[in-house]
Structure formats: structure tokens, C-alpha cells
Amino acid sequence: MGPIIGIDLGTTNSVAAYMKDGQPVIIPNLEGDALTPSVVAFARDDHRWVGRVARAQAVANPLRTVFSVKRRMGRTCSAPASEAVISSIKRQMGSDYVVTVDGRAYTPVEISAMILEKIKADAETFLGESVERAVITVPAYFNDSQRRATKDAAAIAGLEVVRLVNEPTAAALAYGLDIEKAHTILVWDLGGGTFDVSVLELGEGVFEVKAVNGNTHLGGDDYDQRLAGMLVQRFRDDWHIDLDSDPADQRLIRQLAEDAKMKLSTQLDVRVVLPHSFGRGSRCAVTVTRDEFEKATADLTEKMAASAQCALADAGLDPADLDRIVLVGGMTRMPAVRRLVRELTGLEPYAHIDPDQVVALGAAIQAGVLAGEVRNVTLVDVTPLSLGIESLGGLFARVIERNTSVPTTKSRLFTNARDDQTAMDVHVLQGERALAADNMTLGRFQLSDITPQARGEAKVEVAFEIDANGIIHVSATDLQTATSQRIRVDSASGPSPEAVDRMLDESRQRMESDRRKREDIENAIRAENFLHAADELLGEAAQAGPSQVIARAVQAVETGVLAVRDALAAGEAKQIVTAGEALESALKKLSTEVKTARSAATRGRAA
Ligand code: AMP
């Protein structure tokens, strides 16, 4: 069997690497470059371009050139069939997930497959043998359906994915090979489209991701867009040229902005010259300084600080606990980004491996581990969002907490909410909020043929399994009959990366109100349970024989029952707690009296 290669399927660029004599090495593409732009273009003569050529002809062919596909992986919505759809694959064009070129719709999976096809073909040319297996990296925030979509894209391209690895983990792996002693490292990954920050612990050959955080709405594209906006304004002011109406001009200005941005990483200012005169008789140019650019993008840079602080807090660490900072993604070459990292952590970032290549090199090492070529390295990833099911009262019952190492299997026992219930609906959810309705539905299924029993008597075990690729399986088993149902979470139903961001944000903002809501619901469930207990105990009391003490206790319980019912009907949280507590103590008293009366009766019979 041929080699397993490592592939970083990037938003902006894709990179492949393989293990050669125990070391990861980049596989150059046919053009001789390490980086293949993740760009697909459809030429008029039915020809398809992928990579550098596709990118180069984008300005002339903007409506038939597809960029930035990765964000759209695993999402299932179709775009309006308008003529401007091509650059709409970029997120700012809204929520359209299908690109239409010449009347043919392409999904992000198909576009990604075209990129992977080129990577595979170029690798085969370079290595001189057929390549059928790969380790592919995905952003730490990719959910189940996006991971599945990545595997689908690979399958279309003729590649079997032997493992999906989170990008920051792969980066740590690339740096980790020469680490002997235990290290806590922060991986700061700012690429073209996304920002991921991860805290990892490395020691004795084990790589464990302690926490992940990030922002799927933040990347080099946003910096390009800001700079493009500045350039459009300058050319309008200085040269009276409108570069913002025609798609070809927009693409041109974005390209010039990206080139200028890269130059500003090493120069203090940059002169941007238009490639043609736009009827002005001379070459039009404007100048932008690094300082101006940094000021115009300061809010973008600042956004990263909050995510990094959250990741550290989730890992239970202070910046002082970090031993090393690893930079990933072309955007980490921007001096303002490095400055922020330094300010936040007090450490000089580690960047001796090219930040564009480090993920692919790590993927190759993981491929080497799987092929048995690299030993003494184990990889432990974590799940970015909690998983669980809806429980009584619409609460979200977590089965797997976020940041749990994967692969993992965890289970929790649930019971029947009603007497003689014969089926249980399992509503599978992902998220951080207290109420089921505020989280994301991953799937639903029903466990039928449960043994009919009194409320609270059935034992249903719900088990979640996340496999090494981050794909989720959920099962529910009636422990009495061993009847079981199992699902693989429906690939179309996972949250989008934007939704994951939003959910994490909301859960942080609403932590306090969520806690109160959960408490209110739990109190209501408790009060309801007292009503059930009262029903049973009143029945027992009726059989205990005439007694004034019992009659008084029964009356107290009955009053308590009415008060709880009133409180539940009014939905008054405080009233529910007070009435619940009153009923609880009335129940205790009645229970004691019934027991005393029973033992007195037994003694009487014995005598
Ligand atoms: P990636 O998604 O990791 O391939 O990162 C690509 C992003 O890094 C794009 O937004 C590039 O414009 C950006 N980038 C590449 N080189 C530089 C540089 N020297 N300075 C600033 N940004 C860069």
C-alpha cells in the first residue's frame, strides 16, 4: 500500500506533506510551490483550474472563481441563483452554501474535492506512486457534520481519510517531536478565515488538548477587507476612481489589499499601484502605512485576546503557566498579532517552522504514527462543545462535557417521566446552554418497547461515543430488556461554525440567567415530584386507620398540595420553592405518623 500523506485543507491555501526518513517533509505541487491556493476556477472551455492558476485568473474571471470554501463545509442551504454568487462563497455574502457556475450548482464538498484531487495527483507525481490514504486536518471548531463533509470530499477525490486531526493539535505535533520534558503550550492559529486558540499539554509522548476556543468569523480575509475598504476610499479621494462597483475591480482591489497587507508585515509603508490607468493617463497609486493599517484593524486584533483568555480559563491556567507559544497561519506574520501574543503571555512566540506549513507537517507526523513509522507519540483531542440530551422540563442534560478528550464514550442513566411509558424520545443536543431549546439539535430518535413501569422506575442508559475522527454515535438502552437504539448523528443537522461561535458567546453572556432558569425548572420538577409522593402517601394514610394525628397531617399535606398546584399554575418561582418546601415538610410529618401508626398496629396484632 502507498504512503499516508498529511493534508492541511486550508481556507486560503492547502498544503501536503509526508514522512521521509523519520522527518516530515512538504510535498511541492506541480507548480513547484509548497502552498496550493484553495481556489477553483471554471474556464469557458469546460476546463477547470485549481490552485495558483485559478487564483491568478480570478481578477479576469471573478464570477467563475470560487474562494474560501472551507467555512461552508457541512452546511446545507442553497444560494439564490443570482449572477454574483461566485464570490458569495465568502461568508460576507450571506448564508448561501451552493455556488452556481454556468447553471450548475457546486457544494462546498465538491469544491473541496476538486482541491483534494489536485493535491492527490500532484503528490502522486512527486512521490512516483499512488496515494490513496491521508490524514486531513480540520479547524478545532469543526463540528460533526463538517468533519463528515471533509471525509466525503476526500472520498470523492479518491482519498480514504485514516484520521481527521484538529489543526492546532497537528501544529503542536510538528513542534512536539523534539520536546523531551513536559510542556504547556498555546497554539495561536490565525489563518485566512478562522482564528483558533488551543491549550495543549505535552509530556512523555502524549499530546493532550486541554481547551480550545476561537472565532470562525475572524481571519486574514477580514484584514484584507478592511484594507480594501481603505484603498477604495483613497483611490476615490485622490484619483476619483470608483473601484467598488464592478466585480472584477472588487476582486482586483482585494488582491492588491492582500499583497499590501503581506508587505506591511516587513515594511513600514506600502505603495499600491493600479495595474492599468483607468483612463487617468498615468499609473494611479496611493500609500498606506503600517501604523494606519494597524489602527484600522485594531478591533480585529483585540478580538483574539478574549478567545485566548477564555481558552486559558477553561484549561484552568494563567498565562504564567505557559511554556511555549506556537504560531500557525500566514496571518501570524503580522507584527501587531505577534505583539498582542507577547503582551498577553509575556512570552516570545515560537515560530521557527513556517506558520503556513506547520499544520501539514504535523498531519504528516500523525500519518507516520498511524503507519507505525513514528513511535512514542499519542494524540489526545478534545470536543469543543458539550453533548447531551433533553431531559424532563426541557433541560439540557450533559453526557459529555466540552473539552473532554476524544475518542471517548460516556453514558448517563435516565428514567421514565410518566407512569407506564413505553417509548422515550431522545433529543440529541450540542451546546453550552442550560435549556434544551437554546442548544443545537443534532438528531432525534425514539427508544420504543420500554417495559411499562411507574414513573421514575425505568432505567434507560444513554451513551455517547465520539470516535477518533470526532464523529458522534448515540445509543439508548432499556437496561431491563436490553432493547437498544443507536444513531450516527445526521450529518446535515450540526451547527455551523458561526453557530458554534454564537453559542459559546451566548452561553458566556447568559450564564447567570441560564443558571436561574435551570434552578427554576429544577425546583418545579422537585415540587411536581412532591405532588406524586403526596398522592401515594395520602393513599397509604387512608389505610392507616382512624387517627386524629394522621387526619391533621393529611390536612396539612392536602393544603400543601393545593399551594404547590397554585404556585405551579402561576409559574411563580419563589412561590414554587416556598410551597414545595412546605409540602415537603408536611409529607415528612405524615410519613412519620403513618409509619408510627403502622408499627403500633403491628405491635397490637402481635400482642
Ligand atoms: P492560511 O489560511 O493559514 O493559509 O493563512 C493565509 C492568510 O495569511 C491569508 O489571509 C494571507 O493573506 C495571510 N498571510 C500570508 N502571509 C502573510 C504575511 N507575510 N503577512 C500577513 N499576512 C499574511
How does pLDDT run across 334-363, given as a tens digit for each residue?
A: 999 999 999 999 998 887 889 999 999 999
- 250 alpha carbon – ligand 1 mean position (Å): 19
Decide: 333 in ligand 1 pocket, CB within 6 A: yes
- 138 alpha carbon – ligand 1 mean position (Å): 17
52-66, 201-215, 354-368, 568-582: range with highest mean pLDDT:
354-368
For the chain, what percentages of helix, strand and coil (3-state, to nearest 5) are there? 45, 25, 30
> Whose CA is closest to atom 1 on ligand 1?
191
Output DSSP code: residue 49.
E
CA-194 nearest atom, ligand 1: 2
Output DSSP code: residue 64.
G
**β-pair partners for 380:** 208
What average pLDDT score do residues 133-147 get? 83
Domain 517-606 bears CATH identifier 1.20.1270 = yes
Helices (H), 494-572: 497-509, 511-542, 548-570
243 vs 235, 246, 251, CA distance in Å?
8, 7, 9
Decide: 192 in ligand 1 pocket, CB within 6 A: yes
Of the chain, the percentage scoring pLDDT greater than 90 comes to 41
Other beta carbons less than 10 A from residue 231's beta carbon: 21
Q: What is the pLDDT of residue 337?
A: 96
290 vs 129, 300, 431, 526, CA distance in Å?
46, 15, 40, 61
Q: Which residue has the higher pLDDT, 32 or 378?
A: 32
What average pLDDT score do residues 240-251 get? 88
CA-355 nearest atom, ligand 1: 3
Per-domain residue ranges of the chain:
4-177+354-376, 387-482, 517-606
Give the confidence band of 8 by pLDDT, cuts at 50, 70, 90: very high
Output DSSP code: residue 114.
H
109's CB contacts (< 8 A; 6+ apart) are: 73, 74, 149, 152, 153, 156
Decide: 112 in ligand 1 pocket, CB within 6 A: no
Q: Is the pLDDT of residue 460 over 60?
A: yes
Rounded to the nearest 10 degrees, what angle do helices 573-606 and 548-570 cross at? 160
Tell me the C-alpha distance between 445 and 91, whole Å.
33
| Whether 235 contacts 243, CB under 8 Å | yes
Instruction: Tell me the three-class secondary structure of 401-469, residue by residue.
Output: CCCCEECEEEEEEECCCCCCCCCEEEEEEECCCCEHHHCEEEEEEEECCCCCCCCCCCCEEEEEEECCC
Give the confidence band of 283 by pLDDT, cuts at 50, 70, 90: confident
Other beta carbons less than 10 A from residue 571's beta carbon: 10
Q: Which of 167, 196, 221, 514 is catalytic?
A: 167
Rounded to 5°, the CA angle 406-410-416 comes to 150
- 574 alpha carbon – ligand 1 mean position (Å): 55
CA-220 nearest atom, ligand 1: 10
Decide: 189 in ligand 1 pocket, CB within 6 A: no
Q: Which of 8, 110, 196, 381 is catalytic?
A: 8
What average pLDDT score do residues 532-556 get? 86
What average pLDDT score do residues 408-428 get? 90
Q: Which of 117, 152, 189, 514 is catalytic?
A: 189
Decide: 10 in ligand 1 pocket, CB within 6 A: yes
Burial of 536 (0-12, 13-18, 19+ CB in 10 A): exposed
pLDDT averaged over the chain?
Answer: 84
Q: Is the pLDDT of residue 417 over 60?
A: yes
Q: What is the pLDDT of residue 61?
A: 73
Decide: 307 in ligand 1 pocket, CB within 6 A: no
> Whose CA is closest to atom 14 on ligand 1?
330
Of the chain, the percentage scoring pLDDT greater than 70 comes to 88
What average pLDDT score do residues 458-482 get? 88
- 584 alpha carbon – ligand 1 mean position (Å): 64
| Whether 310 contacts 508, CB under 8 Å | yes
98 vs 94, 109, 306, CA distance in Å?
11, 10, 33
Looking at the domain covering 4-177+354-376, what would its CATH class be? alpha beta
Give the confidence band of 476 by pLDDT, cuts at 50, 70, 90: very high
What average pLDDT score do residues 283-303 get? 95
CA-219 nearest atom, ligand 1: 10
167's enclosing H/E stretch is helix 167-176
Choose the residue to mutate in 12, 264, 288 for probing ligand 1, maximizing ligand atoms within 8 Å of C-beta. Answer: 12
Q: Grid coordinates representing 84?
A: 454574483
Q: What is the pLDDT of residue 286?
A: 96
Q: Grid coordinates representing 387?
A: 453533548
Q: Is the pLDDT of residue 85 over 50?
A: no
Q: Which residue has the higher pLDDT, 467 or 574?
A: 574
Q: Grid coordinates representing 486?
A: 443507536
Q: Grid coordinates representing 160?
A: 480514504
Q: From the CA atom positions of the chain, what is the Rg in Å? A: 30
Q: Is the pLDDT of residue 561 over 70?
A: yes
**β-pair partners for 473:** 465, 488
Q: What is the pLDDT of residue 204?
A: 63
Decide: 168 in ligand 1 pocket, CB within 6 A: no
> Whose CA is closest to atom 8 on ligand 1?
330
Respond yes or no: is residue 8 known to be catalytic.
yes
How does pLDDT run across 434-451, given as a tens digit for each residue?
A: 899 988 888 899 998 888
Decide: 213 in ligand 1 pocket, CB within 6 A: no
Q: Grid coordinates representing 504?
A: 459559546
Choose the residue to mutate in 262, 297, 300, 328 for probing ligand 1, maximizing ligand atoms within 8 Å of C-beta. Answer: 262
Give the confidence band of 95 by pLDDT, cuts at 50, 70, 90: very low
| Whether 41 contacts 65, CB under 8 Å | yes
Respond yes or no: is residue 478 known to be catalytic.
no
210's CB contacts (< 8 A; 6+ apart) are: 184, 199, 200, 201, 314, 315, 316, 317, 382, 403
Closest CA to 67 of 77, 57, 76, 78: 57
Tell me the C-alpha distance between 39 and 49, whole Å.
8
Q: Is the pLDDT of residue 555 over 50?
A: yes
**β-pair partners for 400:** 387
Decide: 12 in ligand 1 pocket, CB within 6 A: yes
Q: Is the pLDDT of residue 234 over 80?
A: yes
Report the Cα 266 to chain-centroid distance in Å: 33
Q: What is the pLDDT of residue 205?
A: 61
Tell me the C-alpha distance between 306 and 302, whole Å.
7
Q: Is the pLDDT of residue 475 over 60?
A: yes
Q: Is the pLDDT of residue 72 over 50?
A: no
Rounded to 5°, the CA angle 406-409-411 comes to 140
Decide: 139 in ligand 1 pocket, CB within 6 A: no
Q: Which residue has the higher pLDDT, 508 or 127?
A: 127
- 220 alpha carbon – ligand 1 mean position (Å): 6
What average pLDDT score do residues 450-478 get? 88
- Residue listed under C-alpha cell 498531519: 363
Q: What is the pLDDT of residue 600?
A: 81
Q: What is the pLDDT of residue 71?
A: 46
**Structurally, what CATH architecture does the domain formed by 387-482 represent?**
Sandwich (2.60)
How does pLDDT run across 246-282, given as a tens digit for each residue?
A: 878 888 898 899 999 999 999 999 999 998 877 777 7
**β-pair partners for 426:** 445
Output DSSP code: residue 495.
P
What average pLDDT score do residues 213-226 get? 88
Q: Is the pLDDT of residue 201 over 80?
A: yes
Q: What is the pLDDT of residue 15?
A: 97
Decide: 14 in ligand 1 pocket, CB within 6 A: no
How does pLDDT run across 352-407, given as a tens digit for each residue?
A: 889 999 999 999 999 998 888 776 555 556 677 889 999 988 999 999 988 777 77
- 330 alpha carbon – ligand 1 mean position (Å): 3
Choose the residue to mutate in 259, 331, 340, 358 for probing ligand 1, maximizing ligand atoms within 8 Å of C-beta. Answer: 331
